[in-house]
Every structure is written in structure tokens, then in C-alpha cells.
Amino acid sequence: MTDVIKYDFCTMHIYDNYMIVVINEGVTVTPEHNNVLLNVVDTYYKNNPFVYITHRVNSYAVDPAIYKETSKIENLAGFCVVSADYKAKRNAEIEKLFLNKPFEIFDTIEEAKTWSNELLVD
């Protein structure tokens, strides 16, 4: 499965075991955005484990409170950030403290996909 869903704040690429999300430039991701994520999860991953991959190609802010809600998604197996930007990686290190799921940071999408597939096999 590879569907592409565009919202006013992001673009989601849906695959069988993971989604790759690119948040738009200048957005502040808040807990309210979780409603969109929950709808996508219910539609595409109903009771199937998946990994959320955020590809940070744009500059945007994340309200760490979002991770409290994201942690409640039962079939979310893991979360990872892909970025070559030092600042984005440091921010992700802080965000990691707020999510109660496996959380990794990678330089490339391929590394994130490999980790996702390994995580779901274990």
C-alpha cells in the first residue's frame, strides 16, 4: 500500500508497516493534530502495528505535549525522526523524553525503514 494524503499542515505517505510524514514549513504541531493521525491510523492500520516516521525536511515546532496523546495509540510500535539537520536532531532528543514508545533518530529514510521493519518483526 502506498497512498499519499495531503493536509493543510503535512503530507503523509502510507505504506504497509509505516507512514512517512513531512510537516509543512512553519507549522506548530499540537495535540489537536493527533485527531488527524488517529483517523489515518483507524483507516489504514486498524489493529495492525505500524511505525511513524517523520521526515524533517522543513523547519517547524513540536509541542511536546503531543507525545502524551501519541503514546496512547496502542498499535503504534515505534516513532522515528529522519533529519540531516543538527538542530532538528537535538530537538528530537528532547522530544524522545516525552514518548513512551521506541523512538530513534536517523540520517536517512532508508535507515528509518530498515529500523521500522526490524522493530515490527521482533
63-79 confidence digits (pLDDT tens): 888 888 899 999 999 99
The arithmetic mean of pLDDT across residues 74-100, rounded, is 94
Distances (CA, A) of 78 to 2, 5, 7, 8, 25: 19, 21, 22, 25, 24
pLDDT-derived band at 47, boundaries 50, 70, 90: confident
Q: Is the pLDDT of residue 30 over 80?
A: yes
Q: Is the pLDDT of residue 100 over 90?
A: yes
- Give me the chain's average pLDDT, please: 93
**Look-up: residue for cell 499540537?**
30
Given this model, what pLDDT does residue 122 score?
61
Query: Residue 47 in contact with residue 73, Cβ under 8 Å?
Result: no
Burial of residue 38, with CB atoms counted within 10 A of its CB: 0-12 exposed, 13-18 middle, 19 or more buried: middle
Given this model, what pLDDT does residue 89 score?
93
Given this model, what pLDDT does residue 1 score?
60
Q: How far apart are CA 47 and CA 80, in angstroms?
A: 20
pLDDT-derived band at 121, boundaries 50, 70, 90: confident
pLDDT-derived band at 110, boundaries 50, 70, 90: very high
Where do the H-state alpha helices sit in 1-122? 34-44, 66-70, 86-95, 109-121
Q: Which residues of 50-71 are buried (b: 16+ CB within 10 A; e: fewer)?
A: bbbbbbbeeebebeeebbebbe
pLDDT-derived band at 107, boundaries 50, 70, 90: very high
Query: Residue 2 in contact with residue 17, Cβ under 8 Å?
Result: no
DSSP tag of 97: G
